[in-house]
Amino acid sequence: MPTAVSFSGRAWATRPHEPGEPARHVSELSDEAGFTHTRANLWRYEPGARGRRHVHADQEETFVVLAGTLTMAVGEPPERVQAGTGELVHVGGGTPLQVANHGDTELLLYVYGSPPDFGADVLPDVL
């Protein structure tokens, strides 16, 4: 049965970060949307926030920029990629990546991954 999921009025969980560092916030969509073979989340990055550099063994991920500007380090050696509102970046499984918001406004992302992988190897940061 088709399911419509609203992006407004969502509950957000703040991800761990160091005191004084800008935060990242996630709103999980997979269960609400009924996903079984994929996963998706909304992510909000405050200005200056960055995620950890990591790699998923098999999961490919697509990052759709809903607001702001995404800065990403992709691959090994890392290549810097930027995408603005209305653009996307697709990263194949087994590819190291790190996401950051180097802009002065909030970054809002829709992130879609397949197959679902709830673990990742953490790598040294490059952004």
Over the chain (127 residues), what is each successive 10-residue block's mean pLDDT? 87 93 97 93 98 94 98 97 98 97 98 86 88
CB within 8 Å of 40: residues ≥ 6 apart = 29, 30, 33, 110, 111, 112, 113
How many CB atoms within 10 Å of residue 11?
8
Per-domain residue ranges of the chain = 42-118
Fold annotation for 42-118: Jelly Rolls (2.60.120)
Strand partners, 120: none
Pseudo-torsion of CA 51, 52, 58, 61, nearest 10°?
20
CA angle 12, 15, 16 (to 5 degrees): 150
Give the pLDDT confidence score for residue 1 in this predicted structure: 66
pTM for this prediction: 0.93
Query: What amino acid is encoded at 12 in this protein?
Result: W
Residue 39 CB-density burial (10 A; 0-12 exposed, 13-18 middle, 19+ buried): buried
